[in-house]
Structure 1
């Protein structure tokens, strides 16, 4: 996932006509800002990995550290957009700050899930709407050609109202449909048309688009009802999502994983996109459809996640949850504990209301002491005290 985002930054740089930088994998950084998850250079993925970490923690029932949430909010520009990373968030964003739709939409999903950030998310959504393309979709950079990944992550940020966000009468779902291939070509989604307008199947784009076409995002994806995953050439968002899932099911049928195909490199298992495929398959076909790639990840992903950091652990947590596995015992690894260890310690979990009530009633008096007093005065009075307090806790 982080490799794809780095490639997207490079591709976007080429598109807008500036010199393309030499792009290497992020390396350990001598300075990691307080509150940020991960220890590698955040230049290309700071906001993205932070957003995924916060989403995964939230879905696992963990309360993120306030400093982690504050760091993410502090990355926002005044116009509502987010860049991949701003080294000096105190400095106002200018034309040189390359804001993008992916970072912005991921931040919206994280902050919306956590709650309490309506102002920040409202400004970010307004910005996303302002840069929507005429075909209803979004590119990585504002004004860039729509692609399946960017459009899907924005759908996740828009939530239930995504279908009503129109540009020239086109919705985000229209943009995804335009990038879907017929069953004769596998039923997948393309990332973008090539220069001649041809669509080529792309597993990464397909995994994202299956979830997006279902109107879901990273914070809301969940297992479906177990419908059969088949390709039917239905010209609807739901049909395109099912077709994409059928393509993914076939792609993982043999080995249980997707394969990365990078020019000049030997083909190898693609752990991140396999995790995304698990979520997509579960959304469309239920946990049974995701069983084989999920089992492969349980057996093989530990080393990759340890090397890749917080975004990898977050992807695996989301895959485990969607696929019906326990993220706290995923092939013997506690993914939640490992993720938490890559950043500031989470806040203490909120204590259940019943536990609080055991200790004190709403006036701060120990309930058990009151019951004891009631028993001294008479059994009936004691029960009255207990019943009154139970009624107030409901």
Structure 2
């Protein structure tokens, strides 16, 4: 989720890649790079964490918990230390001993991801009360910066976008909070914002897809990254999801009164059609790049696999997963822990062994990217992946009954990304 933006050199570059007019997002500067060049011992990965430190740490935790491991206390303490006093997380704080100030760019995506990760590890952490407090403070901050339309932008006050709104919905799922109860000052919910980004089935270019944001003229354009994220959110999912049952090929159906779950299934239909030929998504060249050819988008392909499987379309997801098994090793090695985490979660969503992912043991590679996690507890591993959102799933089942074509009861069985 949000791979396109996380891969960009800056938030400005990300906005340019996606072709939006999100002036609010591009106005704030990112957190500073560590001046010493030496990274904290508790951090996963070896590359500059300026734009993705909290994000990659959080995804690593989620993937480890999904495979039964508990992140090392040192790693958990590092993530806890990144939080500002107001509950927000920046993308990265080089010096966590200095309090956040007005110049510290609070990151809604990092905050929502950290909330999900800390909710997943809190019961097994050395300081569960501290983790609980961090989860609550992060959730409270997200509520405080919710836009009037019910959504969120990348930074506080930025125009709402589908990706940021979706990752916040994932945080709500992880903490058992109903999105319909998380309302803005004008009474709008996150789903009100998400549905505003949904394209109708009649759209010629992207039937059933989600846009990242409207362009300057207010027009919506299909975006596969945003669609994968919004499909999960529309189904009430956190970043950890498993295969839905019963299996059913996704279709696109417009309703007179759109619903989040129907829009999610329409998005799954778009993803299935997009992946049908090449079995992978593509990303446009970065602004100023000499090579103008589109390149395979490994991260968002993994996210699409998760979304499809969560929508009951794992059959349509499998060719993409198999493509990742054959082609993603070099990308993951170069990209680091967040990439391994995305692949772990894609494997788990389709009930594929992440230890035998093509020629790679994804779990081993992820665990080697930071402090050694605690060995899996086989008595707990079957439930740890559920812990993030089991409460959410219960109200979701009661509240909406059976989603059209998708059994939601599977939500309680285990989760992935």
For the residue of structure 1 that corresponds to 2:75, the secondary structure is: helix
Do the aligned partners of 1:108 and 1:157 also contact (CA within 8 Å) in 2? Answer: yes
Displacement after TM superposition at 1:16 (Å): 6.3
**Structure 2: runs of 5+ lacking an equivalent:** 16-21, 123-127, 381-417
Tell me whether 255-264 or 116-125 shows the greater mean CA deviation: 255-264
Corresponding position: 1:141 with 2:161: no
For residues 232 and 331 of structure 1, do their structure 2 counterparts lie closer, same or farther at Cα, with a shift above 3 Å needed? Answer: same
Do the aligned partners of 2:25 and 2:159 also contact (CA within 8 Å) in 1? Answer: no
TM-score by length of 1: 0.84
Aligned equivalent of 1:224, options 244, 250, 261: 244
- Map Cα deviations across residues 51-110 of structure 1 (whole Å, 9 max, x no partner): 000000000111111111110000000000000000001100001100110000000000
Do the aligned partners of 2:59 and 2:338 also contact (CA within 8 Å) in 1? Answer: yes
Aligned residue in 1 for 2:134: 120
For the residue of structure 1 that corresponds to 2:311, the secondary structure is: helix
Aligned residue in 1 for 2:187: 169
For residues 137 and 352 of structure 1, do their structure 2 counterparts lie closer, same or farther at Cα, with a shift above 3 Å needed? Answer: closer
Displacement after TM superposition at 1:287 (Å): 2.2
CA RMSD after TM alignment? 2.2
Tell me whether 160-169 or 275-284 shows the greater mean CA deviation: 160-169
Do the aligned partners of 1:299 and 1:331 also contact (CA within 8 Å) in 2? Answer: yes
Greater RCO (CA < 8 Å, at least 6 residues apart):
2
Distance 1:213 1:306 in 2: 32
Distance 1:6 1:123 in 2: 27
For the residue of structure 1 that corresponds to 2:282, the secondary structure is: strand
For residues 249 and 3 of structure 1, do their structure 2 counterparts lie closer, same or farther at Cα, with a shift above 3 Å needed? Answer: closer
Aligned residue in 2 for 1:291: 318
Runs (4+) of structure 1 exceeding 6 A deviation are none
Alignment of 1:252-263 (within 5 A): 252-262=275-285, 263=287
Distance 1:16 1:296 in 2: 34
How many residue pairs end up in the alignment? 348
Distance 2:271 2:3 in 1: 20
Displacement after TM superposition at 1:196 (Å): 1.0
Aligned residue in 2 for 1:60: 67
Aligned equivalent of 2:84, options 74, 77, 90: 77
TM-score by length of 2: 0.79
Displacement after TM superposition at 1:350 (Å): 3.9
Corresponding position: 1:158 with 2:172: yes
For residues 16 and 184 of structure 1, do their structure 2 counterparts lie closer, same or farther at Cα, with a shift above 3 Å needed? Answer: closer
Displacement after TM superposition at 1:285 (Å): 2.2
The structure with the largest helix share of the pair is 1
Alignment of 1:267-282 (within 5 A): 267-282=294-309
Aligned residue in 2 for 1:187: 208
Displacement after TM superposition at 1:348 (Å): 3.4
Aligned residue in 1 for 2:274: 251
